[in-house]
Structure 1
Amino acid sequence: MKNYIFKSVLQLIPLLLLISLIVFLLVHVSGDPVALMLPENATEADRIALSAALGLDQPVYVQFYRFMSGIVQGDFRNSFRYHQQALPIVLERLPASLELSIASILVAILISFPLGILSALKRNSVWDIVITGFSVLGKAAPNFWVAIMLILIFSVQMSLFPVSGRGGFAHLILPAITLGSGLAAKLTRLIRSNLLEVLSQDYVRTARSKGLSETVVVCKHALRNSLLPVVTVIAMDLSGLLGGSLITETIFAWPGMGQLIIQAVNTKDMAIVQAAVFVISIIVVICNLFADILYRYLDPRIKYN
């Protein structure tokens, strides 16, 4: 296992080079960055001066070399909107996004595991029908509608939680429920289907024939072996929660990366976009590595060579 982790870390180097190339190409595929940054009344002299200042008058391979040299030093150039280095701006927003993403995943786990297990154990019962119905509803309900309903009920009418902002634990509850509800609906259905499949296996019937309690059979033998797809979905959805929670962050005025990325795209601030995409990509790669390690823990039969 240690050799696998070491080799996986080494494999991150070419992967990060590929990510760096994609991030570098973002500037060029989005159009002429100089034309995007300059106002409509800019002169040709302004265009030439800005192109020289950004180094865009050099050949592409020279630009890529300078870009890679900057990445090694943590330099993604200055944001022309904030007039400072882009990477510190992104890293300043990262803790808020991580906080909201992790809280959303915890909410999804706390909701989906009990409901998914209950739905599988009570297959085709009233419990199963109700839980499946709520899962479909939770998956279909858009985040902005869930957020508005939560604000109206728990903030406006009941005055239990703050409406917006990032402060104490109370500020985190409603945004986390908003983001976690959709993931909880997906995980509930996934846990139910995987657990039903595992419960029909021979080793589960053998465990029951030995007189083990239903709790031990489900939790120790069945549930653990049905969690591999669940771990995969959580690892994949973390990246979406980090960069794709724009609507939730906007409604709750949460100062995360989602708002920052959309603002940077709208203002053509490509330095911010490049830094944000690079940071999110690294987090996704690390999450996938941890998911692989967790696979080995959940199923000792998995061997990494």
Structure 2
Amino acid sequence: MGKYVFKSLLQIIPVLFIVSLIVFVLVRVTGDPVALMLPETATAEDRAVLTQALGLDQPLYTQYVKFLGNAIQGDFGQSFRYGQPALELVLERLPASFELAAAAMFFAVLMAVPLGVISAVKRNTFTDLLISGISVIGKAMPNFWMGIMLILLFSVMLGVLPVSGRGGLSHLILPAFTLGVGLAAQMTRLIRSSMLEILNQDYIRTARSKGLGRLTVIVRHAFRNGLIPVVTIMSLQFTSLIGGTLITETVFSWPGLGQLLVVAVNTHDMAIVQAAVFVIALIVVLVNILTDVSYRLLDPRIKYD
């Protein structure tokens, strides 16, 4: 396992190199940053001076080599919109995104695990149909609509939770629940399918034939082996939450990385786009490694050569 983790960590280098190259090229072929940074009254001389200052008058390969050298040192340039180092801005927003993603995942697991297991155990009963129906409704509801409805109910009508912003636990409940509902709906269906497959395995029937209690069979034998696909979807969803919760962040004015990245794309703030994508790519790779390690912990039969 240690050798596998070490090899996986080494693979981070070529992955980040490829990501940086793709982002660098795409950012520069999608528009002229000089035109966005200068006012309409700027002269051709102003454009030439700024172009030279940014190094945009050099060939692309020269710009990339310089960018890569600076990136290795943690320097992705200055944000012309905020006037601060791009990586500093990204890292400032990252804790808020982690906080929201972790809370949303907590709500999702808290709802999905018992519902998915009960739905599988009570297969083709009214309980199963009810849980399946709730899952479909939860998945079908758009995040922005859910967020607005929660604000109207708990903030406007009842006045028990804040409308927006990031502060204490009370500020986190509504946006986390908004994101968690959709995740819970998806995970519930996945847990149900996984549990149904596990419950029909020979070793489960053997455990029952030995006289083990139903709860023991479900919790100690079936549930643990049924967690592997759930861990996979959790890792995928968590990484997408880090950089892709724009709608929820906008509805609740949550100062996360997703909102910063979209604003940077719209204003063609190259430094922030490059820094944010680079950081998100690193997070994705690390989460994937942790997911592979968790497979081994859940199922000792899995071996990594």
TM-score range, shorter chain: over 0.9
Q: Which residue does 2:179 correspond to in 1?
A: 179
Distance 2:27 2:161 in 1: 42
Which has the higher mean CA deviation after the structures are superposed, 8-17 or 21-30? 21-30
Inter-partner Cα distance in structure 2 for 1:167 and 1:120: 39
Deviation at 1:261, TM superposition (A): 1.1
**2:106 is aligned with what amino acid?**
L
Distance 2:18 2:4 in 1: 21
Corresponding position of 1:240: 240
CA contact (8 A) 1:37 1:268 kept: no
Q: Distance in 2 between the 1:186 and 1:228 partners?
A: 15
- Look up the match of 2:87: 87
Q: Contact between 1:107 and 1:176, CA under 8 Å: does it hold in 2? A: yes
Further displaced range: 9-18 or 29-38: 29-38
| Deviation digits for residues 165-184 of structure 1 (CA, Å, limit 9, x no counterpart) | 11111111111000111000
What secondary structure does 2:167 align onto? coil
Report the AA paired with residue 13 of structure 1: I
8 A contact 1:115–1:188 mirrored in 2: yes
Give, in angstroms, the shift of residue 38 of structure 1.
3.5
**Residue 268 (structure 1) shift:** 1.5
Compute the TM-score of the two structures, normalised by the length of structure 2: 0.97
Q: CA deviation at 1:30?
A: 1.5
Shift of residue 253, structure 1, vs aligned partner? 1.1
Choose 234-243 or 128-137, whichever is displaced more.
Answer: 234-243
In structure 1, the residue matched to 2:69 is 69
Contact 2:151 2:163 in 1 (8 A): yes
In 2, Cα distance between equivalents of 1:72 and 1:248 = 33
- Pairing 1:3-18 to 2, within 5 Å after superposition: 3-18=3-18
1:1-305 → structure 2 map (5 Å cutoff): 1-305=1-305
Task: Tell me the distance in 1 between the aligned counterparts of 2:240 and 2:30.
Answer: 22
- The question of whether the paired residues in 1 share the 8 Å contact of 2:33 and 2:269 is answered with no
Q: What amino acid sits opposite 1:10 in the alignment? A: L
Secondary structure, aligned partner of 1:78: coil
Amino acid at match of 1:44: A
C-alpha distance in 1, partners of 2:204/2:43? 75
Choose 43-52 or 110-119, whichever is displaced more: 43-52
CA RMSD after TM alignment: 1.2
Q: Which amino acid aligns with 1:57?
A: D
TM-aligned CA deviation for residue 40 of structure 1? 4.1
* Distance apart, 1:41 and its partner CA: 4.1
Tell me which amino acid in the other structure corresponds to 2:4. Y
How far apart are the structure 2 equivalents of 1:193 and 1:38?
Answer: 56
Q: Aligned-pair distance for 1:49?
A: 1.5
Contact kept in structure 1, 2:31 and 2:268, CA below 8 Å? no
Unaligned runs of 5+ in 1: none
Q: Segments of 4+ in structure 1 off by > 3 A?
A: 35-42
State the distance in 2 between where 1:216 and 1:38 align: 68
SS in 2 for 1:254: coil
- The number of residues matched between the two structures is 305
Runs of at least 5 residues in structure 2 that lack an aligned partner in the other structure: none
For 2:90 and 2:11, locate their aligned partners in 1 and report how far apart those are by CA, in whole Å: 25
Counterpart amino acid of 1:83? Answer: G
Distance 2:300 2:118 in 1: 26
Distance in 2, matches of 1:165 and 1:262, equals 18
| Structure 2 SS opposite 1:139 | helix
8 Å contact kept, 2:12–2:282: no
